[in-house]
Amino acid sequence: MKKTPVFLDSLVTDMLRLRAICPFSWRVFQFRPISCEPLIIQMNKCTDEEQIFDFIERNKAILSEKQVGCAFDMLWKLQKQKTSLLKNFEDVRDHPQFLTLHNLATNKFKLMNDDTLVNVLHITQQFAGESHDPLVEALVTEAWRRLERFDIKLLSEFSSCLADQHLYFSPLMGKIADIVHRNLETTQDLSSLSVLMVNISSLISRHFQQQLVNKTELLFDTIDSSEVNVATRITRFLRNIKYCYQPLLEKCNNVFLSNVDQLDLDSISKILRLYKFLQFNSFEFIMMAKKKLTEMIPLCNHPASFVKLFVTLGPIAGPEEKKQLKSTLLLMSEDLTGEQALAVLRAMEDMESRNSHLIKRVTSVLHKHLDSYKPLELLKITQALTFLHFQRKEFSAKLRELLLSYLKISFIPTEVSFLVYAISLLPSPHLDEVGISRIEAVLPQCDLNNLSSFATSVLRWIQCDHMYLDSITGKQLKLLQKLDHYGRQRLQHSNSLDLLWEELKYVRGNTFPESLLEETIATLQHFVDEINYINVVEIASFISNTDYLSTLLLDRIASVAVQQIEKIHPFTILAIILPFSTLNYDPPQRDEFFGTCVQHLNSYLGILDPLMLVYLGFSLATLQYFPEDLLKSIFNIEFLSRLDSQLEILSSSLSARVQFHLMELNRSICLECPEFQIPWFHDRFCQQYNKGIGVMNGAQQQIYKMLAEVLGGINCVKASVLTPYYHTVDFECILDKRKKPLPYGSHNTALGQLPEMPWEPNTEIVGSRLPPGAERIALEFLDSKSFCRNIPHMKGKFAMKKRHLEILGYRVIQISQFEWNSMALSTKDARMDYLRERIFGEVKS
């Protein structure tokens, strides 16, 4: 038998003596372990909350700050292991021992190390029932005191705690932003940086935003390709700062495509919403999402999960999937909450689905919850129902009543502007004096976006208010004048393009009142030298929407594109070319500009979004620029198959627009570049599309009758004529070699009917079927939409049509609305003389 070592005997003797001398100290010594490790090991063995709470109850007198932190950690880990249906935050929060743990943390938080402090803060927030938990406030204050010593990972975790409390604009979040800015150069952890970027995005400058984008681009290749969460946060950051930065978005998109198996319904839904906001198109991601979401249809049998699937898949689903989604949702419709009904309605708007049964069921749920919706939600309801052509007096009346009640108490300019806009969409959008005075009260605080929204609403009232008293319309006209005054004031006080652009970014140029638009363009011209590769795409897009021709701005855009093309992402080239195409303008360095843009795109033709490539080809064709490589990349079987797949997932209206532009591009190449030998294959599409032609407006009917008089009879003029390649001509006549009108005979087209084509398509055109020396004349009536907004300069697609008609053998006479309605042509005789002069070259003496 082994002998006990002498030193151990001595130790036991000393301890017994100590117990006799100081029994109290011995009791403490007996129950407090030399190391805290055994208690933590015991906690780690707990498998449910009750075991942890029993442990806290037994050991509350001796738990250290580290053990308190461990107890919080264990409770949170157990919650994370549960499904959403099994989580029991309230049960945990209301347990007596949770209060004990809460009090222990309150007493010991100053002793906690930095990691434990932030972790306890995070977990306490998850369980907190009160909006102002004293422990949370104490932990935040202590963390603020230690902030400068936090590393980037801990800083990111703490910023998320503040974000959970919606403290995005707090001085503390500003302090975190300052620390990030000071340490940005040495930061290497993109995962933590991406969290910080999202959380501080609301209060950083444009310059700092760009620095973060540059740093992210630099560090992106250092992260693992499976980091879906990092890619999602980067995309969220770009959404938050409203910056569609293509290079980063492509990198994030590649991460998503490489990790399809990791993406569930929630993550796909989130990514698609971010892409929609940023207007970032990824055909590959949408097709992947469509496939994966379609497989989930049989698995989602609970209203909450199925609504999310409907909202996410619906807008990109094919016809069969849409049918399946709608029929399943009809069965669940009575169980929808108010929030779910609104989500479904907005998805139906995106889907352009006017299924009357489903709309009726959804609006029934909406009506039940209408009082609980916030102002912005009421706007979304109004917009969606207006788009879906839903009309029910009782519903509209209640909606209007709620909007007006919110308007009377609202004082936030943006909220007032969208409430007014929502009211203007409803039947009888008339506003009383109280409503008008509410608008006037916020005008001095409004930015250009708010003012533009108000102007749109007021103009809609004026159009609809013919049934009301003249005094009401007079007040609205005065309101328009005030809007114009405050708009000019803001424009004149702008001192940089960046600040001006913050206000113009979401203004659609075609909604601006005329005088305000003119002042806006003048202000942009003042800052013309500040247009660079960073903002050129946004400026070009704004000009495209204004229909306002400013050669100074367009020349600058072309110059920036030529000089800084390497800094401009190829996928944004369409936006740069579009204003030139829309406004029919060739810059001084035309060939160099278009050539540089197309050359920059060439290596991306195989991966460019099909829709974008069609629009690009059409825009260039409008400008009489036909790059052979680009066009042949469109007109081949492989590309057209990809385009067909994409058309299936687009809304019906967008799909029709894309098909129409493809037809126009096909027609333009056949007529203007026959040497490319690209066949014409749109006969069937055009026959379907042109079924509705033949209806004339008042001015066209007036011209038609006068033409019949001028030409010597109704048989000498044809209306709504289809040409080869399916251009529609307002009026056509034929003059022989002596300039005498030739009658068409009994086959002339009656008004409102589809005419027969005078010639067969795909035949040689010039002089076809005409007597020797005769000429075919096309007369086109051009309304204000055919011209630029500021000058009578014909827009691109109308100039292209004139070229095509001339190639087809027509002499084209274009009658401008401005000319026809001018004082010079105010009498019938003057108009008759005008037509004779244009057709026969006769000048009345």
The span from the CA of 454 to the CA of 466, in Å, is 19
Q: Which domain holds residue 202?
A: 183-277
CA-nearest of 575, 587, 588, 644 to 615 is: 575
Residues 210, 108, single domain; the answer is no
CB distance 157 to 122 below 8 Å: yes
Q: Which helix (H) or strand (E) holds 816?
A: strand 810-816
Q: Could you tell me which of 502, 495, 506, 498 has the C-alpha nearest to residue 456?
A: 506
Mean pLDDT of 573-584: 96
> How would residue 528 be classed by pLDDT, with cut points 50, 70 and 90?
very high
Element containing residue 633 per DSSP (H, E): helix 628-634
Output b/e per residue, 609-637; b: 16+ Cβ within 10 A: bbbbbbbbbbbbbbbbbbbeebbebbbee
372, 404, 420: which is the final residue of a domain?
A: 372
Same domain, 346 and 301: yes
pLDDT of residue 765: 38
Euclidean distance between CA atoms 643 and 502, whole angstroms = 35
What would the DSSP string read from start to end of 436-487?
A: HHHHHHHGGG--HHHHHHHHHHHHHHHHHGGGS-HHHHHHHHHHHHHHHHHH
The answer to whether residues 757 and 724 touch, using CB atoms and an 8 Å cutoff, is: yes
Q: What is the pLDDT of residue 843?
A: 54
Of 277, 297, 322, the residue at which a domain comes to its end is: 277
Q: Give the end of a domain, one of 244, 277, 310.
A: 277
Within a domain: residue 84?
yes
Residue 145 sits in the same domain as residue 248:
no
What's the confidence (pLDDT) of residue 10?
A: 42
Rounded CA-CA distance 779/707 in Å is 10
Question: Residue 564 falls within a domain, yes or no?
Answer: no
Confidence check: pLDDT of 94 > 90:
no
The alpha-carbon radius of gyration of the chain (Å, integer) is 35
Confidence of residue 1 (pLDDT cuts 50, 70, 90): very low
- Is residue 46 situated within a structural domain? yes
Q: Are 438 and 408 in contact (CB under 8 A)?
A: yes
Q: What is the DSSP letter of 794?
A: B
Express each pLDDT in 413-462 by its tens digit.
999 999 999 999 988 767 778 888 899 999 999 999 999 999 888 888 87
Per-residue confidence band for 466, with pLDDT thresholds at 50, 70 and 90:
low
Torsion-angle region of 279 (φ positive above 0: left; ψ -120 to 50: alpha; else: beta): left
pLDDT of 357: 92
Q: Are strands 775-782 and 728-735 parallel, antiparallel or unpaired?
A: antiparallel
- Torsion angle defined by CA atoms of residues 719, 721, 727 and 731, in that order, rounded to the nearest 10 degrees: -30
Cβ proximity of 89 and 49 under 8 Å:
no
Give the model confidence (pLDDT) of 595-620 as tens digits.
999 999 988 888 888 999 999 999 99
Does residue 643 belong to any structural domain of this protein?
A: no
Residue 228 lies in a domain: yes
Structural domain contains residue 543: no
User: What pLDDT score was predicted for residue 36?
Assistant: 46
Cα–Cα distance between 716 and 708 in angstroms, integer? 7
pLDDT for the residue numbered 403: 94
Does any domain span residue 446? no
pLDDT at residue number 542: 93
Stretch among 172-186, 427-441, 536-550, 642-656 having the lowest mean pLDDT = 427-441
Mean pLDDT, rounded, of the chain: 87
Question: For residue 624, is it left (φ>0), alpha (ψ between -120 and 50) or beta?
Answer: left
Q: Among candidates 383, 386, 336, which has minimal Cα distance to 362?
A: 336
Residues 800 and 717 in one domain: yes
The per-residue pLDDT for 436 is 87
Residue 180 has pLDDT above 90, yes or no: yes
Q: Are 781 and 700 in contact (CB under 8 A)?
A: yes
What's the confidence (pLDDT) of residue 37? 52
Query: To the nearest whole percent, how much of the chain has pLDDT over 90?
Result: 62
H or E segment to which residue 777 belongs: strand 775-782
Whether the per-residue pLDDT at 117 is higher than 90: the answer is: yes
Q: What average pLDDT does range 641-649 have in this prediction? A: 90
Whether residue 43 is found in the same domain as residue 99: yes
pLDDT at 694: 58
d(CA 49, CA 231): 35
- Amino acid 86: pLDDT: 62
Do 820 and 699 share a structural domain? Answer: yes
Q: How many domains does the chain have?
A: 4
pLDDT at residue 842, rounded to an integer: 64
Q: Is 698 in the same domain as 828?
A: yes
Q: Give per-residue pLDDT as tens, 776-810.
A: 999 999 999 999 999 999 999 999 999 999 999 99
**Pick the residue with more confidence: 35 or 98?**
98
pLDDT in tens, 719-773: 989 999 999 999 999 999 899 999 986 444 433 333 444 444 333 333 357 888 8
Quick count: other Cβ atoms within 10 Å of Cβ 57? 11
Indicate whether 273 and 297 sit together in one domain: no
**Beta bridge partners of residue 733, listed in sequence order:** 777
Nearest alpha-carbon partner for 776 in 745, 806, 803:
806
Based on the domain organization, do 261 and 301 belong to the same domain? no
Q: What is the DSSP string of 235-299?
A: HHHHHHTT---HHHHHHHHHHHHHTGGG--HHHHHHHHHHHHHHT---HHHHHHHHHHHHHHGGG
Q: 254-310, pLDDT tens digit by residue?
A: 999 999 999 999 999 999 999 999 989 898 999 999 999 999 999 888 899 999 999
Torsion of CA 431, 434, 440, 443, to 10 degrees: -80
Q: Name the DSSP letter for residue 787.
A: B
Same structural domain for residues 835 and 704? yes
The verdict on 241 and 291 lying in the same domain is no
Q: Which amino acid is at 401?
A: E
Q: Do residue 809 and residue 709 come from a single domain?
A: yes
Nearest to 293 by CA among 275, 276, 315, 274: 315
User: What is the chain's length?
Assistant: 845
- Would you say residue 825 lies in a domain? yes
How far is Cα of residue 720 from the mean position of the Cα atoms in its chain?
A: 38
In this structure, the number of other CB atoms found within 10 A of the CB of residue 193 comes to 26
Residue 844 confidence (pLDDT): 54
Beta strands in 706-747 (DSSP E): 718-722, 728-735
Half-sphere exposure of 351 (CA within 13 A, CB side): 26
Q: What is the pLDDT of residue 59?
A: 84
CA–CA gap between residue 614 and residue 658 (Å, rounded): 7
pLDDT tens digit string along 468-504? 544 556 778 888 899 999 999 999 888 999 889 988 8
